[in-house]
Amino acid sequence: MTREPTADSHVDSRVDSRPSAGAPVIRLRGVTKIYGRKPVLDRLDLDVPAGTVLGLLAKNGAGKTTLIKAALGLVRPQVGEITLLGEPAWDLSAAAKARLGYVPQVVQLHPWMKVRQVIAYIASFYPRWNGPLVERLVRDWELPPEDRVGPLSVGQLQKLAILLALGHEPELLLLDEPAASLDPSARRQFLRTVLDIAADARRTVVFSTHITSDLERVADHVAILKEGRILYHGPLDELKDRHKRLHVNAAEPLPARLDLPGVIRRRVEGNEAVLTVRDFDSSTLDALRTRWRASVEVEDLNLEDIFLELHDEADVSQPARHA
């Protein structure tokens, strides 16, 4: 993690806390975090299996940062239980912390140090440090080793934080809006690095973003967050398979409130309608074709389309839809 490790980072007397096979590396149950009178996380449940690349997708201010900080034990919820790598998140051992990499949304590093000094300082806390990887990223990302941290641009500071989190090759990597300040070229390089990390099935990556194109490039699972609750959590491919847009052309005028299971959004004009549906299957087509003697064209949706439809229309009083 890029926050300063404790002095006992190299030694820990606890029994190995690695999760058993099949156990989630992150587990949240009934987690509620309230700031003032507003619940930022609201009875939230989430399991992140080992080997997953999970994209946490939400609008700005929807609780992504709070969720990640709670999972890491950096903020304490009023209600609920959180375990990380098999341990209570609020009381992580040094051994567990050494298996984590974390990049916060707002990066804070010692401004008086040079880039190479910060790298050497962080590396000193980890018995295993991939120097060649870090050197390559410094070179590829055009970071100036002899420049001080203080005057670095926001994008340069974010690059530095990312490579510091990657240097010890963490088993679990958590990234809060990691590419928000990167230019398109740097974002592309960063995403390639994430894919390289994810290629090792023993590693787990969780990253928050509001950039759906980034998520689609690297994530195999997605969790969509709205108003402190999970609207959907499951495989990205399954999310796309379930949600479709239907273009309907019927033999007779259609009712304005066209009744169809799973409709998220509808627009009806005379004999034509455009419907967005969840849990799509062939029975939906059969019902439209039979009842309204309609021709139906099925349109695939990208993640941004699905996110906007779910976010605008989903009723968060209903249970989260899990795969």
Structural domain spans, the chain: 24-236, 239-322
Overall residue count recorded for the chain in this entry: 323
Q: Check residue 256 and give its pLDDT.
A: 85
Question: What is the pLDDT at residue 82?
Answer: 96
- Tell whether the model's pLDDT for residue 17 goes beyond 70: no
Taking only the tens place, the pLDDT of each residue in 149-207 is 999 988 889 889 989 999 998 999 999 988 777 777 777 777 777 777 766 667 899 99
**pLDDT of amino acid 189:** 78
Which tens digits make up the pLDDT trace of 22-78? 579 999 999 999 998 888 999 999 999 998 899 999 888 788 999 999 999 999 999
Query: How many Å apart are CA 290 and CA 35, to the nearest integer?
Result: 52
pLDDT band, very low/low/confident/very high, at 313 (cuts 50, 70, 90): low
In three-state secondary structure terms, 140 is helix
Angle at 226 between CA 220 and CA 229, to 5 degrees: 85
At 124, the pLDDT band (50, 70, 90 cuts) reads: very high
- Mean pLDDT score, 89-95: 93
- Inter-residue contact 186 to 159 (CB < 8 Å): yes
pLDDT of amino acid 198: 65
| Gap between the Cα atoms of 90 and 70, Å rounded | 8
Angle at 276 between CA 246 and CA 238, to 5 degrees: 95
pLDDT in tens, 236-278: 999 999 999 999 999 999 998 887 888 888 899 999 999 999 8
Q: Which residues pair with 244 in a beta bridge?
A: 277, 300
For the chain, give the mean pLDDT: 84
Q: pLDDT tens across 212-243, in order?
A: 888 888 889 999 998 889 989 999 999 999 99
How far is the C-alpha of 175 from the C-alpha of 208, rounded, in Å? 6
Cα separation, 38 vs 31, in Å, equals 14
Contact 23, 86 (CB under 8 A): yes
Could you give the CA distance from residue 227 to residue 34 in angstroms, rounded to a whole number?
A: 12
Which is higher by pLDDT, 316 or 206? 206
- CA angle at 226 for the pair 221 and 228, rounded to the nearest 5°: 100
pTM: 0.81
Query: How far from the centroid of its chain's Cα atoms is residue 101's Cα?
Result: 14
The CATH label, of 3.40.30.10, 3.30.530.20, 3.30.1360.20, 3.40.50.300, for the domain at 24-236 is: 3.40.50.300
Strands (E), 201-290: 204-209, 221-226, 229-235, 244-249, 263-269, 272-277
Instruction: Report the distance separating Cα 60 and Cα 155, nearest Å.
Output: 19
